[in-house]
Structure 1
Amino acid sequence: MELALVVLLGVTAVCGCGMPSYPPNTNRVVNGEEARPYSWPWQISLESFFPTCGGTLIAPNWVMTAAHCITFHTYRVVLAEHDMDTVEGPEQSLRVDKMIIHPKWNKSCPSCGNDIALLKLQARAVLNDKVQPACLPKQGSSLSHNYPCYVTGWGRLYSGGPQATKLQQALLPVVEHSVCSRSDWWGGSAKTTMVCAGGDSESACHGDSGGPLSCQGKDGKWYVEGVTSFVDGRGCNTAKRPTMFTRVASFIPWISETMAKN
């Protein structure tokens, strides 16, 4: 049986990774709220004629996003963005030089996986207290059931609702694969190369695509464990249909090789 789903198109120390100078507020976020400005300093806005997706700064001149986000020929990324409606001062706008989509991505089959792309920037981002790269997980690492992670982005506040203008964050506990792949959950659409997180009232929504699923490690650093990929076609907040993310730990070799060759 084919499940209806939709991809989510929408619309530290400075020298290290995963250590925000402005720590995120993680005390009371359940169904989502405005993020503390610059507390997710690796979050970027991917824009062509208008903002389309999110993404993650993983090196001064490299951004990770979802393959399904790449639909135009020309892009820029905006770093240190918070309020889309206001020029606040610290924003950095950098053009994309190369767009490299995973070779096994099939745009006709989002649930087949491999929804990941890398963007090489024309210039290096200036790293500071508001712009910092995220850490990447170790190859093959996995997260335990109910592990607390956070999705961030400017997507719709709920299915059919308004687009956020200020960066939002929401707590999305991980749903382990053995649960997410049950027949009354995502079934065969849940691959081991994906991370399921959230569900019911907690989810990403249209416009959050490509953005990070950030999880804090035991070392205190934040690791981007997922790239926002798709939700159920019936709505962002559908019970037993957690948000699906590309599992970054499954693609570390491809990420490393791509960055080394380009």
Structure 2
Amino acid sequence: MYLYFVFILLIFVYILSGCGEPNYEPNISRVVNGEEARPYSWPWQVSLESFFPTCGGTLIAPDWVLTAAHCITFHTYRVVLAEHDMNKEEGPEQSIMVAKMIIHPKWNDNCVSCGNDIALLKLEKSAVINDKVQLACLPQYNAAVTHNQPCYVTGWGRLYSGGPQATTLQQALLPVVDHSVCSQSDWWGSSAKTTMVCAGGESKSACHGDSGGPLNCKGRDGRWYVEGVTSFVDGRGCNTPKRPTVFTRVASFIPWISETYVMLRYSCNAPHL
């Protein structure tokens, strides 16, 4: 038990000591309905790829990526960091194979609205942290985001429902919608759980292909935190009124993230008897 808590302390001290502070500041002064992000301004954003790009993800430690459980449908994946333009080899990209995929044990792939849409990816090797590849901060356990708090979704998803896939990384301002609003019967109703975060709505939305990527929210300390993992939108379209994008609430899963890291780290380092 002592070793367990020591590992938790070490990982969070390590992560919080250097996270959420991009060298290239995001251009957030005029983003409303989405636009191309400034290159490398979201340096924890990763592209999750199998035979082709499938989802997004967030680098939370040099060898750990956070994504959505529903993204894990193939056996072999790699992540690409420092990606901006999918159609160009721009130089700083890092491509790393995924060594292990850990899906939340309560995830039900037949019921995305049941929650627990979260997964951790252990990379074969650590990413090289530099000015274009950095870590996002994790929120404290059960930390709350507030109604209308300005947060940003990022990814290479479709530019609008039925529209083309983005080739360059996009960002959009998605103000948080409080659970008391999002769970109303004419909004998401019972599909909105307390382990989820709703954000955006109408013209402001994530879209297909953004899954697994981060909902980036700036903390009072000036650092960027991954408060959500992009989970689902309304089946009628990404920009349906009163159907904001739904994210897995990362703050609800901090114990599971900690336990997973500790268990895998300890099992890998334990002496063979």
* TM-score computed with the length of structure 1 as normaliser: 0.94
Deviations 1:57-91 (A, max 9, x none): 00000000000000000000000000000000000
1:150 — aligned with what?
152
CA distance in 1, matches of 2:236, 2:17: 43
CA distance in 2, matches of 1:35, 1:257: 34
Pair 1:40–1:14, CA change in 2 (3 A): farther
- Distance (whole Å) between structure 1 residues aligned to residue 31 and residue 220 of structure 2: 20
Preserved CA contact (<8 Å) 1:135 1:222 = yes
Output the CA distance in 2 between the equivalents of 1:241 and 1:30.
Answer: 17
| CA distance in structure 1 between the aligned counterparts of 2:87 and 2:96, rounded to whole angstroms | 19
Residue-by-residue CA offset, 1:24-62 (whole Å, 9 max, x unaligned):
000000000000000000000000000000000000000
Q: Secondary structure at the match of 1:179?
A: helix
Deviation at 1:260, TM superposition (A): 1.1
The equivalences for 1:45-84 within 5 A come to 45-84=47-86
Separation (CA, whole Å) in 2 of partners of 1:47 and 1:144: 33
Structure (1 or 2) with the greater helix fraction: 2
Match for residue 34 of structure 1? 36
- Name the structure 2 match of 1:161: 163
1:258 aligns with 2:257: no
Partner amino acid for 1:138?
Answer: Q
Within a 5 Å distance, the mapping from 1:37-186 to structure 2 comes to: 37-186=39-188
State how far apart, in whole Å, the 2-side matches of 1:73 and 1:144 are: 38
Task: Choose the corresponding residue for 1:223, options 221, 225, 230.
Answer: 225
How far, CA to CA, are the matches of 2:16 and 2:220 in structure 1? Answer: 20
What are the within-5 Å matches in structure 2 for residues 194-233 of structure 1?
194-233=196-235
Judge conservation of contact 1:14–1:129 (CA < 8 Å) in 2: no
Q: Which runs of 5+ in 2 are unaligned?
A: 1-14, 265-273
Equivalence for 2:249 = 247
Offset from partner CA, 1:105-149 (integer Å, 9 cap, x none): 000000000000000000000000000010000000111100000
In structure 2, the partner of 1:10 is: none
Per-residue CA distance 1:157-182 (angstroms, 9 max, x = gap): 00000000000000000000000000
Q: Distance in 1 between matches of 2:41 and 2:17?
A: 16
**Change in CA separation of 1:103 and 1:14 when aligned onto 2, cut-off 3 Å:** closer
Give the equivalent residue in structure 1 for 2:269. none
Alignment match, 2:191:
189
Q: Secondary structure at the match of 2:233?
A: strand
Larger radius of gyration: 2
For residues 231-253 of structure 1, what are the alpha-carbon distances to aligned partners after superposition, in whole Å with 9 as ceiling and x for unaligned? 00000000000000000000000
Alpha-carbon shift at residue 261 of structure 1 (Å): 1.2
**Other structure's SS at 1:251 match:** helix
What letter corresponds to residue 160 of structure 1 in structure 2?
Answer: G
- Cα separation, 1, equivalents of 2:63 and 2:157: 24
Please give the alpha-carbon distance, in whole angstroms, between the structure 2 residues aligned to 1:260 and 1:43. Answer: 23
Segments of 5+ residues of structure 1 without an aligned counterpart are 1-12
Tell me by how many angstroms 1:14 deviates.
Answer: 11
Contact 1:81–1:91 under 8 Å retained in 2 = yes
Partners of 1:259 and 1:128 in 2: how far apart? 23
Whole-angstrom distance in 1 between the partners of 2:111 and 2:86: 31
Work out the CA distance in 2 between the residues paired with 1:205 and 1:249.
23
Shift of 1:15: 6.4
CA shift digits 1:163-202 (9 cap, x unpaired) = 0000000000000000000000000000000000000000
Runs of 4+ in 1 over 3 A off after TM superposition: none
CA RMSD, 1 decimal? 1.1
Q: Percent identity?
A: 80
Report the Cα distance in structure 1 between the residues aligned to 2:17 and 2:91, rounded to whole angstroms.
22
- Counterpart residue identity of residue 107, structure 1: D
Name the count of aligned residue pairs: 250
Tell me, in whole angstroms, the C-alpha distance in 1 between the residues paired with 2:199 and 2:245.
Answer: 6
Deviations 1:188-229 (A, max 9, x none): 000000000000000000000000000000100000000000
Of 215, 234, 237, the match for 2:236:
234
